[in-house]
Amino acid sequence: MTKLWQTKKLNKKIELFTVGNDYLLDKKLLKYDCKASIAHSKMLKKIKILTEEEQKKLEKELNNIIELAQKGKFEIKLQDEDCHTAIENYLIKKLKDLGKKIHTCRSRNDQVVAAMKLYEKDEVGKVKKLVNGLVNSLKKLVKKNIAMPGYTHMQKAMPSSLKLWAGSFIESLEDDLILLNNASQIIDKNPLGTGAGYGLPIKVDKEITKQELNFKENYKNSLYVQNSRGKHEAIILNALVNVMSTLNKLVSDLILFSMQEFNFFALPEEFTTGSSIMPQKKNPDVLELVRAKYSIVLGYEFQLKNLISNLPSGYNRDLQLTKEPLMKGIETTKDCLEIMTLVVSKLKVNKENCKKAMTKELYATEKVYELVKKGKSFREAYKEVKKKV
């Protein structure tokens, strides 16, 4: 079956190259494209391009696709190129001439953006839920009354506690939630009705699709729908990178404090992996991988932010490559959040070892303040204690 924009046969190598792995990635978009197409069909009914009956037929088939997709039975073939063509081909096969009407008053450009935005809103929502789950796991740790050394410059500094330590990640995740919320607010604009970026030579009703798809507002400017591609996805990735950064610090601490020399924390044995040569090893691979995945997701953000640079206005095919970094960033972040919620919930804290580590240098500052309370100026008190240390 030929592509919708196609007359002459495309060179086979060029086809393979340009399709890339869109036909695989787009599995995640099927549902969203169908939903957007249903909303679009309602709009077409409103402006009298479709009759009520026609709209119903289309809606039914689109719902069928959603169902098939959920069961893994709707295939996007390489020659379909992407989910959008696969869906249209299916509609034409099922509904003949009626299927050929669905693309009226839209371009693949606004269609793709609509599916992406619905996908993004859903996924950011899932990430937020997982962040809240991890916060809950951390809150259980916070309740334990365990003293620990506090470090600065990776040197013993002042007394700290499990509560303070775990609490720092909660506040960090709260900041990340704000970023996630902001990201989903900014991208929450209806792109339908803007065509290829330059509007449509026919009057459409954007309010209908906006309401149907629960978008916060319509894009004001049709060209910006395309110019915001990559930019909006990078805003989401920035929020994800912040989440990953919180996890990166959490696991950096856990790996350090699980070393034999500290032994403040321990993973359950069934969470650790062994060595092919050293029989004694219990390695925190799971934590090391989370640590490294920060850099992986950061790399995805950089791909997007570099990719959009020095490009003129309007849709450029480069933007198609914004899909994979975003999707991989989302999947990676979700995986890491899930696994860290499990890890935190099962983490063993060795209270005794923490206590033993509370050596006297940690209390030097307290001594300074004892002198301050007795009336010494801070600097004099500091010097006096320093001499004795």
**Interface with a copy of itself in residues 81-110 (CB under 8 A):** 92, 97-98, 100-109
Q: How far is the CB of 54 from a copy of itself (least distance, A)?
A: 11
Does 275 participate in catalysis according to the annotation? yes
| Residue 331 touching a copy of itself (CB under 8 A) | no
Q: Which amino acid is at 279?
A: P
HSE-CB of 309 using CA atoms within 13 angstroms:
6
How is residue 270 annotated by DSSP? G
Question: What is the C-alpha separation between 253 and 169, in angstroms, rounded?
Answer: 11
Contacts with a copy of itself in 283-312 (CB under 8 A)? Answer: 283-286, 288-289, 291-296, 298-300, 302-303, 305-312
Does 153 participate in catalysis according to the annotation? yes
Q: Give me the catalytic one of 232, 275, 276, 309.
A: 275
Instruction: Return the CA Rg of the chain.
Output: 28
Where b means 16+ CB within 10 Å and e means fewer, 318-339 reads ebbebbbbbbbbbebbbebbeb
Q: Give me the catalytic one of 40, 84, 153, 252.
A: 153
Residues 221 and 134 sit within 8 Å (Cβ to Cβ): no
| Residue 358 touching a copy of itself (CB under 8 A) | no
One residue of 79, 320, 345, 350 binding a copy of itself per CB under 8 A: 320
Q: How far is the CB of 348 from a copy of itself (least distance, A)?
A: 14
Residues 161 and 147 sit within 8 Å (Cβ to Cβ): yes
Contacts with a copy of itself in 26-45 (CB under 8 A)? Answer: none
- The dihedral sign for the CA sequence 255, 260, 263, 269: positive
263 contact partners, CB below 8 Å, separation of at least 6: 257, 350, 353
Question: What is the C-alpha separation between 117 and 123, in angstroms, rounded?
Answer: 10
Q: How far is the CB of 312 from a copy of itself (least distance, A)?
A: 5
One residue of 27, 49, 350, 358 binding a copy of itself per CB under 8 A: 49
Q: By C-beta, is 5 or 73 nearer to a copy of itself?
A: 5
Reported in sequence order, the residue ranges of the chain that DSSP labels E, i.e. its strands, are 147-152, 155-161, 189-190, 217-218, 265-266, 348-349
Q: How many residues bind a copy of itself (CB under 8 A)?
A: 162
| Residue 223 touching a copy of itself (CB under 8 A) | yes
Site string for a copy of itself, 139-178 (x = CB under 8 A): -----------xxxxxxxxxxx---xx-xx-xxx--x--x
Contacts with a copy of itself in 239-268 (CB under 8 A)? Answer: 241-242, 245, 248-249, 252-253, 255-256, 258-262, 268
Give catalytic residue positions.
153, 275
